[in-house]
Amino acid sequence: MRIPKKLINDPSKVAKEQLEGLIAANHGRIQAIGDKGAVCVNPLPSPQVAIVTGGGSGHEPMFAGYLGPGLATAAACGDIFAAPPPGVILDAAQAADQGKGVLFVYGNYAGDNMNFDIAAELADDEDIETQTIRIWDDVASAPLSKIKERRGVAGDLFVLKIAGAAAAQGKSLGQVTEITAHARDCTRSVGVALSAGSIPQTGKYNFELPDDELEYGMGLHGEPGVSREKMASADTVVEQLLDRIIEDLPFVAGDKVCLLINNLGSSTVMELLIANRKVHSYLESKNIEVHDTLIGSYCTSQEMAGYSISLLKLDDTLTPLYDAPCHSFALRK
Amino acid sequence: MRIPKKLINDPSKVAKEQLEGLIAANHGRIQAIGDKGAVCVNPLPSPQVAIVTGGGSGHEPMFAGYLGPGLATAAACGDIFAAPPPGVILDAAQAADQGKGVLFVYGNYAGDNMNFDIAAELADDEDIETQTIRIWDDVASAPLSKIKERRGVAGDLFVLKIAGAAAAQGKSLGQVTEITAHARDCTRSVGVALSAGSIPQTGKYNFELPDDELEYGMGLHGEPGVSREKMASADTVVEQLLDRIIEDLPFVAGDKVCLLINNLGSSTVMELLIANRKVHSYLESKNIEVHDTLIGSYCTSQEMAGYSISLLKLDDTLTPLYDAPCHSFALRK
């Protein structure tokens, strides 16, 4: 049995300390709001709809790594794999609001849903108008007929990118909400895990996988996937992942997509690139054009080995918003 | 005993396939030169000194991930942890040369040194003028009195960044060489490993570390470090690393530096951010200003757990070159 080996300090303070490290890495471009996990860009952009995101920590650089011009305005960061409290979300919303309203954009998990909804009520008491887009891009987490039960995973990034770009163009809260919902509806993801991540506070792995098996559809917190199978070649695994994604939207010949191959934690960059080779040849064989390719650690689950693939289907609305410039710790365009 | 678990295809083809994946991720901005591991930007920039880098594969995204405007022009990629053959280096040099000469910039390893030197002779036969800068930023790999025996590690990135920016400004081969040597001389790195990476072709780990120990100064191919110690807190480890770096150059009060916290493979982004928190407070306590912070997988050793810290001391020459725009797969400014 492996023992989780991590360079941390007090295990109960990892969420706080990683956020301090992220703030330091931003060189003044983001700042803490209070000391409970809210963080906001600094200075605020010219008045626009505020994009407020958040969720549990432990998925670095998601979520607070995506604060900056053309992306999110503020984030509420919970403890490791725990939803941020409503008060922290309210802190983020109040810091980000410029009188144009706040769009909450976050992954679809029961705890996050509850706390963001409470925060929306608290914001209403403060005369801050809010709207909400929950992201449910993980095709493995529920059938299409129950899409609102699906989890949000790395596709969060695409949805945040579009939301941030739409807000930066000065669109109204209603318009930004509509476009963000559209981006969410055009995004699909699925992942494969080879080994588990561990939780710093407990020093325990989220799950166990035999040395000769992998699991499709594993969640970002170790939620069970859809099938365990024997280890297979990268090309076989990529085909399995893409088959699930393609048929779900569906993505069809003539489509133009953005691609994200997301390291769930401890996969090598070499493996991500080998996967990318196959993704491109697979999509080319389907006559699906890849407009842009992102590869790296964008939404992690501690040291989980494996990766997820996300596709965003572009159209005349989404393409210019995706291509718009943005500047954050973890994504620059 | 853990078993290395990786999503690959034929283990003998990982270097080739990762490069194909990298080329696909560049969407036409780089192209293969032949089929033996040379790759070059496409199209070439307006005529300038060519920056040609390279080395063994397995360190992705180093080296070929840093090709593009304001960075390297071409790269020669060997097999996993193996120097590229002279003919591949010559391929890269010939593709990149625009009559302004070629600067070879690479890490200081016996195999790379030999093959790049042979390639320089071959290039001379083809009337291509070359100069060479070997990078030896790893302070743990030899004493300062034998600096030319030190290995090149993640600090390669800083040196390539400066070289690429100087070349893009249209400077002469002599000027670019002088500035690149200066950047090399202002760069220091040291790493810590918690566990080993494995080699795809053999399926074996490079070394073993007990579950309760870490090793300072471990090389990128598993070369022995300078000391094995009991696991310690992140803050203690960062202090140990920075103490070694600071005293070596030395970096002193009033200095302005660029910082790179480089994931050696499978450390979590959370750990890198927690390290960054301490690095910034340490440097602030020494009155050393951090001009920019890079955190992520820039130069890896397969799935080795741990990270390295690199500092580049800036001055009036280096600051504008570091700040100059660049565009590559793995670094954009």
Residue of A nearest to B332 (CA): A332
> How remote is the C-alpha of B114 from its chain's centroid?
18
The CA–CA distances, whole Å, from B307 to A25, B28, B45 equal 16, 32, 34
pLDDT value for A1: 55
Question: Do B168 and B200 sit in the same domain of this protein?
Answer: no
Q: Is residue B20 part of a domain?
A: yes
Do B6 and B200 touch, CB atoms closer than 8 A?
A: yes
Q: Give kind and range of the element (H or E) at residue A250.
A: none
Question: Do A124 and A246 sit in the same domain of this protein?
Answer: no
pLDDT value for B327: 97
Residue among B24, B58, B280 whose CB faces A24 most closely: B280
User: The domain containing residue B212 runs over which residues?
Assistant: 187-321
Residue among B7, B24, B235 whose CB faces A280 most closely: B24
Q: How many residues does chain B have?
A: 333
Residue of B nearest to A264 (CA): B268
Residue among A9, A295, A303 whose CB faces B266 most closely: A303
CATH code for position B145:
3.40.50.10440
Query: Å from A104 to nearest chain B CA?
Result: 24
Gap between the Cα atoms of B138 and B108, Å rounded: 10
Among all chains, which residue has been given the structure tokens 């700042």? A31
Question: Do B86 and B206 sit in the same domain of this protein?
Answer: no
B271 contacts on A by Cβ (under 8 Å): 6-8
CATH code for position A204:
3.30.1180.20
Interface of B with A in 195-234 (CB under 8 A): 195, 197, 200, 211, 214, 231, 233-234
Written as six digits, the tokens of B129 are 């003028």
Gap between the Cα atoms of A41 and A328, Å rounded: 10
* Below-70 pLDDT ranges, chain A: 1
Q: How confident is the model at residue B3 (pLDDT cuts 50, 70, 90)?
A: confident
Do A67 and A30 touch, CB atoms closer than 8 A?
A: yes
Query: Å from A205 to nearest chain B CA?
Result: 14
Task: Say yes or no for a CB contact (<8 Å) between B8 and A275.
Answer: no
What pLDDT digit, counting tens, does each position of B94-113 carry?
A: 999 999 999 999 999 999 99
Question: Do B171 and B203 sit in the same domain of this protein?
Answer: no
pLDDT value for A181: 98
Q: Is residue B332 part of a domain?
A: no
Res B4 pLDDT > 90: no
Task: Say yes or no for a CB contact (<8 Å) between A274 and B8.
Answer: yes
- Give me the sign of the Cα torsion angle A59, A64, A69, A74: positive
B17 contacts on A by Cβ (under 8 Å): 273-274, 277
A131 touches chain B (CB under 8 A): no
pLDDT value for A3: 78
DSSP assignment of B127-189, as one string?
Answer: T--EEEEEE--BGGGS-GGGGGGPPP-TTHHHHHHHHHHHHHTT--HHHHHHHHHHHHHTEEE
Tell me how many domains chain A contains.
2
Residue of B nearest to A15 (CA): B270
Task: Say yes or no for a CB contact (<8 Å) between A24 and B297.
Answer: no
A305 contacts on B by Cβ (under 8 Å): 5, 266, 303
Query: Å from B2 to nearest chain A CA?
Result: 7
Do A261 and A275 touch, CB atoms closer than 8 A?
A: yes
Written as six digits, the tokens of B70 are 């304001």
- Give me the sign of the Cα torsion angle A19, A20, A22, A28: positive
Question: Do B27 and B88 sit in the same domain of this protein?
Answer: yes
Q: Is residue B109 part of a domain?
A: yes
- Please, which residues have CB within 8 angstroms of residue B143's CB and are 6 or more apart in sequence? none
A79 contacts on B by Cβ (under 8 Å): none
Do A101 and A129 touch, CB atoms closer than 8 A?
A: yes
Interface of A with B in 260-279 (CB under 8 A): 265-279
Res B1 pLDDT > 60: no
Helices vs. strands in chain A: H and E counts, helices first: 8, 14
Gap between the Cα atoms of A80 and A222, Å rounded: 13
A284 touches chain B (CB under 8 A): no
At residue B103, the 3 state secondary structure works out as: strand
Do A17 and A60 touch, CB atoms closer than 8 A?
A: no
Q: Tell me the mean pLDDT in the region B67-73.
A: 98
Q: Is residue B138 part of a domain?
A: yes
Question: Do A233 and A308 sit in the same domain of this protein?
Answer: yes
pLDDT value for A4: 86
- Please, which residues have CB within 8 angstroms of residue A252's CB and are 6 or more apart in sequence? A286, A288
At residue B59, the 3 state secondary structure works out as: coil
Q: What amino acid is encoded at B268 in this protein? A: T
Task: Say yes or no for a CB contact (<8 Å) between A272 and B21.
Answer: yes
Q: Which of A27, A221, A280, A291 is flagged as catalytic?
A: A221
Q: Is residue B328 part of a domain?
A: no
Optimal mutation site among A269, A283, A284, A289, interface B, most CBs of chain B within 10 A: A269
A297 touches chain B (CB under 8 A): yes
Question: Do A73 and A152 sit in the same domain of this protein?
Answer: yes
ipTM above 0.90, yes or no: yes
B59 belongs to the catalytic site: yes
What pLDDT digit, counting tens, does each position of B276-287 carry?
A: 999 999 999 999
pLDDT value for B63: 98
- Give me the sign of the Cα torsion angle B161, B165, B166, B172: positive
Gap between the Cα atoms of B297 and B62, Å rounded: 9
Residue where a domain stops, chosen among A168, A185, A202: A185
Interface of A with B in 25-64 (CB under 8 A): 25, 27, 57-58, 60-61
Q: Is residue A129 part of a domain?
A: yes
Task: Say yes or no for a CB contact (<8 Å) between B7 and A277.
Answer: no
Neighbours of A287 (CB within 10 A): 10
Chains A, B: CB contacts within 8 A come to 189
Cis amide prior to A200 (ω within 30 degrees): no
Question: Do A297 and A233 sit in the same domain of this protein?
Answer: yes
Neighbours of A228 (CB within 10 A): 15
Question: Do A216 and A79 sit in the same domain of this protein?
Answer: no
A215 contacts on B by Cβ (under 8 Å): none
pLDDT value for B266: 96
Gap between the Cα atoms of A87 and A115, Å rounded: 9
Q: Is residue A299 part of a domain?
A: yes
Gap between the Cα atoms of B209 and A266, Å rounded: 18
Residue where a domain stops, chosen among B130, B162, B185: B185
> How remote is the C-alpha of B280 from its chain's centroid?
22
Question: Do A94 and A145 sit in the same domain of this protein?
Answer: yes
From first CA to last CA, the distance across chain B in angstroms is 42
B277 contacts on A by Cβ (under 8 Å): 17-18, 20-21, 24
Optimal mutation site among B1, B7, B266, B299, interface A, most CBs of chain A within 10 A: B7
Q: Is residue B326 part of a domain?
A: no
Q: Which of B102, B84, B294 is nearest to B187 (CA)?
A: B294
Residue where a domain stops, chosen among B165, B185, B205: B185
The CA–CA distances, whole Å, from A165 to A101, A134, A186, A327 equal 16, 18, 16, 11
Residue of B nearest to A269 (CA): B60
Interface of A with B in 88-127 (CB under 8 A): none
Question: Do A135 and A196 sit in the same domain of this protein?
Answer: no
Question: Do B83 and B231 sit in the same domain of this protein?
Answer: no
Query: Å from A9 to nearest chain B CA?
Result: 5
What pLDDT digit, counting tens, does each position of B168-213 carry?
A: 999 999 999 999 999 999 999 999 999 999 999 999 999 999 999 9
A280 belongs to the catalytic site: no
Q: Angle at Cα A61 formed by Cα A85 and Cα A271, nearest 5°?
A: 140
Task: Say yes or no for a CB contact (<8 Å) between B231 and A295.
Answer: no
Strand ranges in chain B using DSSP code E only, listed in sequence order: 30-33, 38-41, 50-57, 74-80, 102-107, 130-135, 187-195, 198-199, 204-205, 213-216, 227-230, 256-263, 289-296, 305-313
At residue A193, the 3 state secondary structure works out as: strand
Gap between the Cα atoms of A188 and B256, Å rounded: 44
Gap between the Cα atoms of A177 and A317, Å rounded: 13
Q: Which of B182, B221, B280, B291 is flagged as catalytic?
A: B221
